[in-house]
Amino acid sequence: MTDSLSLHEARKLVLLSQRVPPAKTPGPATAATLAAIEHLGYIQIDTISVIQRAHHHTLWNRNPRYQPSQLDQLIHDKQVFEYWSHAAACLPMRDYRFSLPRKEAFASGVEEHWFDRDEKLETRVLKRISEEGPLMAKDFECRGKRTGEWKTKPTKRALENLWMQGDLMSARRVNFHKVYDLTERVLPEGTNTTVPTPEEQARFLIARYLQANGLGRPAEVAYLRKGAKPLIADTMQEMTSSGELRLIRVGEENYHVLPGSLELLKKPLSRRKLKILSPFDNLVIQRKRMQALFGFDYLIECYLPAAKRRYGYFTLPILWDGRLAARMDCKAERKESRLHILHLALEPGVVQTDAFFQALCRELESFLTFNQCSRLRLHRTSPDQLLPGLQAAIKNSELLES
């Protein structure tokens, strides 16, 4: 017999599993950041910097004491490493061995590299790093034609191929550029480097996903992992038969959960605390899932021509009252210490606008600080008539500019 959860309960389980809004965490702030990365399993890295970059933004939403230097410290201390999850990500070092199947697939040619291979150049690149120590792409002369969408130079392509197949790792970043070193010099002593079997890998992905997301389906666990869905689906069925997973019905859909996760439903959810999310936050990265569970139809529009954008270049989902209640297009002018709210759009059904505005204003104070800003400028709201109410809600904060 399949148990069922209401949509309200399912959303609560997802949010409590995602630890957003966050609960207070004791101990050092950097330890709380590591705990967030280990719990979520990955933090997506992205280059867009109109506000604080996605990896910092996601961690700040799980740890209010977060500072970008903490992630640098965790990488320096070899507790976190960079590699590919469904996208470029920071991953817990304790999970290193589960990055090996993808690396082996690239090294063996089972999976094609993104860039055409120049094995002679790769050998020269490896030799230099072996002899000279960690190097950046800029440390190599640019010989040969830059290719691809990003006009990548040949040595950068070689470095990335070696990184993807596991010969190199990123020792750190300087001005957001990778510093490459030999893998054996980056890995902490005693790291488990045994390659998991396909069954081990599937079980790992399932457990990690459900721990961080509360409930899930095979397609969600296998998100952007080429060819992984059949084995994950079979493994989830086996784990359900053995009692390691439970099948839960939400509306017309079946989901799997870890049995212990249902205990989270006994905990309270801070519904009045508002969080401004990154478009690449773990909670919202799977858009179809958010549509199914939260009724939130979301598209990041920075990849669209300006004329086709409905909400704005970089709209941020806003979590409030246990739902995704709005989206906000922002831009930080850090030199002027000014944050622009270019467009705030409420979702249909949000009727307690005064309570929403109060929660938003409270969060904006810390959000401005996080983005190195001290002043706020409002431009547009949807519906239009919301603008005076929002202006009134923050007029005493001394943040709003006319």
Q: What is the pLDDT of residues 192-205, one digit of tens each?
A: 999 999 999 999 99
pTM for the model stands at 0.94
Q: What is the pLDDT along the chain (402 residues), one digit of tens a residue?
A: 578 999 999 999 999 999 999 988 889 999 999 999 999 999 999 999 999 999 999 999 999 999 999 999 999 999 999 999 999 999 999 999 999 999 999 999 888 887 888 899 999 999 999 999 999 999 987 665 555 443 458 899 999 999 999 999 999 999 999 999 999 999 999 999 999 999 999 999 999 999 999 999 999 999 999 899 999 999 999 999 999 999 999 999 999 999 999 999 999 999 999 999 999 999 999 999 999 999 999 999 999 999 999 999 999 999 999 999 999 999 999 999 999 999 999 999 998 999 999 999 999 999 999 999 999 999 999 999 999 999 998 886 667 675
> Which residues are CB-neighbours of 184 under 8 A, at least 6 positions away?
none
CB 232 within 8 A of CB 220: no
Partners of residue 90 on adjacent β-strands:
43, 82
Q: Which strands make up the sheet holding 80-84, listed edge to edge? A: 43-44, 88-92, 80-84
Q: Which of 94, 93, 97, 92 is nearest to 196 (CA)?
A: 97
Annotate 232-290 with DSSP letters as a single string.
HHHHHHHHHHTTSSEEEEETTEEEEE-GGGGGGGGS----S--EE--TT-TTTSSHHHH
Residues 6+ apart with CB under 8 A from 226: 111
Q: Side chain identity at 198, as an amino acid letter?
A: P
Distance CA 365, CA 376 (A): 9
- Side-chain half-sphere CA neighbours of 78 within 13 A: 11
pLDDT digits (tens, 9 = 90+) for 281-299: 999 999 999 999 999 999 9
